[in-house]
Amino acid sequence: MAEDRFAALKSRTAELIARHDDEAKARREAQEAAWLAASRGLSDGQRQAIKADRDKADELLKAGDAAGAEVLYRKALAADHLDLAARSGLGQSLAKQGKLAEAAREFTEVVTLPLVDDSALMTRTMAMLAMQQMPPPADPRVAEPSLVFSVEDKPTEFQDAPYAPVMTVVPAGEFAMGSPEGEQFRLPNEQQHRVRIAYPLAFTKYNVTRGEFARFVSETGYEAKGCNLEGTGGMSYDPDGDWRTPGFDQEDDHPVACINFHDASAYAAWLSEKTGHSYRLPSEAEWEHAMRGGTSTTYYWGDIWEPGRANVDGQPGQPGGRSTTPGGTFPPNPFGLYDMAGNVWVWLADCYNASYNGAPTDGSAWMSGNCALRVRRSGSWFNIEKTIEGDYRQPGRLRSASRFASIPSLRYSSFGFRLVRDL
């Protein structure tokens, strides 16, 4: 039975993650032992040279030259990774330059790295006090490659009922959520942080379709009237506009449009009750993990926009053109999911936060912050392929890290959704 296969999948995934963590812990312990041996093996001359660099750095820091002090502290640490006085000084110099998350990272290292001898106990205590006045430390693992905990002989696709969406199993994984500084189209709300999705789950293979939503409406009588439609003069509100009349022709295999957060949540609740399984909106972290598919590039296909990858406006010779396209028209992402970029924006479970400071790192939805707004991702047919100066529809909206939010009651002809199912 499917549920037995899912239980086996979760068990094998947990074993794979535990083995990975044990190996990572062993590597860390070996590295710390090597640092300790190297520190204790320094000659008197080497120790004097390191102290001279550290003393000079202290003088520069007192004189207000934090950048110059940083250079010398880093030089001392290159010679002795466990010189906690130099590391504490580095934290102070970074804090003076306004690099608070980096400073907090260095003070954290002072507190957690092994002691060469008891002379550094006071340094450790002062670092502990400094940390209490700082934001969360920068995660040094953001530069590490993404991990996909994919087990052998896993289920790939299933369907709980003929009326239910086809689901694709997404493996557990770990990745740097957000975007690096310098990424084209990057916005300030995309600070990188490491996230682990320690469980497999299933995403709808395509966005929820017009036909699937119609079945829900037919059985429940659910009403979803009032939508902002695209016309010759741009978007305008039509009180009679809805998913049946989004402003362009659709078939049942197109993604349903003119959907707000509440409509998507109502469909998920209906499908859960009808099938007996837990369907819901994805969290923002689950979404980005699934969208990236193990990649760390700007888009899940690479670092530059490529025509023919997603349904956006302005693609000569491509289907679409200011309207939705059937799921499967464009290539899937590495996890076998279609239209993770383009076609329709999708609603996510999270309340909106303009910064990732304090964000969950375990894949759960962030249910605090500005809950008058809900996160949406992926871009849509309304976005454009080529950047036009002053046009906010640019293709950067389809980046893996791109994130926006809207009032949950809003419906647009470019808004749809997809679901996840817990296994």
Instruction: With a cut of 90, say whether residue 414 has pLDDT above it.
Output: yes
Sheet holding 147-149, edge to edge: 147-149, 172-177, 193-197
Question: What mean pLDDT, rounded, does the chain reach?
Answer: 93
pLDDT confidence band for 1 (50 / 70 / 90): low
Tokens representing residue 402 in the block: 């791109």
| Pairing status of strand 201-204 against strand 420-422 | antiparallel
What tokens does 219 get? Answer: 């059985």
**What mean pLDDT is predicted for residues 115-142?**
90
Q: Among 17-31, 340-354, 386-400, name the one with the lowest average pLDDT.
A: 386-400
What is the average pLDDT across 34-53?
96
Give the per-residue pLDDT at 305: 85
pLDDT of 232 reads 59
On the question of pLDDT at 168 being above 80, the answer is: yes
Domains of the chain by start residue, with CATH: 42-138 (1.25.40.10), 147-422 (3.90.1580.10)
Q: What is the residue whose two structure tokens read 């469980």?
A: 199
Q: Please, which residues have CB within 8 angstroms of residue 324's CB and are 6 or more apart in sequence? A: 246, 248, 250, 254, 255, 257, 311, 343, 344, 381, 416
3-state secondary structure 270-287: HHHHHHCCCEECCCHHHH
In the chain, pLDDT over 70 holds for what percent of residues?
A: 95
User: Does the pLDDT of residue 19 top 80, yes or no?
Assistant: yes
User: How many other CB atoms sit within 10 Å of the CB of residue 248?
Assistant: 16
CA–CA dist 311, 258 (Å, integer): 17
**Tens digits of residue pLDDT in 259-294:** 999 999 999 999 999 999 999 999 999 999 999 999
Mean pLDDT for the stretch of residues 172-197: 94
How far from 27 is each of 20, 24, 32, 138, 143, CA to CA, in Å? Answer: 11, 5, 9, 21, 18
- The pLDDT value recorded for residue 193 is 93
Residue scoring higher pLDDT (138 or 336) = 336
Tens-place pLDDT, residues 67-113: 999 999 999 999 999 999 999 999 999 999 999 989 999 999 999 99
Identify the band that residue 397 occupies on the pLDDT scale cut at 50, 70 and 90.
Answer: confident
Return d(Cα 70, Cα 90) in angstroms, integer.
6
Q: Which two tokens stand for residue 384?
A: 């454009």
Q: Is the pLDDT of residue 391 over 90?
A: no
Q: Which of 213-217, 219-223, 246-250, 335-339 bottoms out in mean pLDDT, i.e. has the lowest? A: 246-250
Residues 6+ apart with CB under 8 A from 7: none
What Rg, from alpha-carbon coordinates, does the chain have?
Answer: 26
Q: Report which residue type is found at 320.
A: G
Residue 192: pLDDT over 90: yes
Q: How far is CA 116 from the centre of its chain?
A: 38
pLDDT digits (tens, 9 = 90+) for 290-327: 999 999 999 999 998 888 899 988 655 555 568 999 99
pLDDT category of residue 394 using cuts at 50, 70 and 90: low
